[in-house]
Amino acid sequence: MNNYLLIESRDPFESNDVGYYYDLSKGLVDDGNEVTVFLVQNGVLAARPSAHSAALTALCQSGVKVLADDFSLRERGISKLAEGVLAAPIDVIVDRLAAGHKTLWH
């Protein structure tokens, strides 16, 4: 079992590649790993409740932890988050790196 941190900087409104990353995170969980998706920059736009946030909620329900960078949220005036998504400080990235989580950026 490995720990993964998948940092997502892209949003589903501008990029149709976000689905690949969400699917990858679910695939890693299904393979028995602990997975966190950390949304940063425009990636947090998907965390605002909308038709597109259902995918993130589904990820949470499948066992992926979904965090959204609090700075990016404030920058974009997002105060309400889709079900299952939690705001988190950037320090989480450093702490997970230090703890040896395999960390990728999309």
Partner 1 sequence: MAKKSLNVVESAYRAVMEEQDDTILWLLAAMQGAGGAHTVVLRGNAVNYAIAGQGAPGLTIGEWKQTQAPRMDRDVADLIENRKIPVYVVEEDLAERGIASDELVSGVKLLSRRALPKLFAEYEIISHW
Partner 2 sequence: MPKKTLTFALMDAPYESANLTTAFRILDAAAKRGHDINVFAYEGAAALAFTRQSPHPNPVHGKNLAEENHPTTKDQVAALLAEAAKNGGKVDWVNCGMCVDERGVNEFVPGTRRGSPADFQAFLDASDNTLVIPTK
Interacting residues toward partner 2 by CB under 8 A: 7, 9, 40-42, 69, 71-72, 90-91, 93-95, 97-101, 103-105
**From the list partner 1, partner 2, none, which binds 23 (C-beta under 5 to 8 Å, kind-based)?**
partner 1
Q: Round to whole Å and give the CA distance between 41 and 49.
A: 17
SS3 state of residue 88: strand
Which of partner 1, partner 2, none does residue 94 bind (CB under 5 to 8 Å by kind)?
partner 2
- Between 41 and 57, CB nearer to partner 2: 41
What's the closest the beta carbon of residue 80 comes to partner 2, in angstroms? Answer: 22
Q: Which one, 70 or 84, has the nearer CB to partner 2?
A: 70
Residues that bind partner 1 (CB under 8 A): 2, 4, 17, 20, 23-24, 27-28, 30-31, 33, 102, 104-106
Question: Coil, strand or helix: which one is 8?
Answer: strand
HEC readout, 23-47 = HHHHHHHHCCCEEEEEECHHHHHHH
Q: Are 88 and 57 in contact (CB under 8 A)?
A: no
Q: Which amino acid type is present at position 104?
A: L
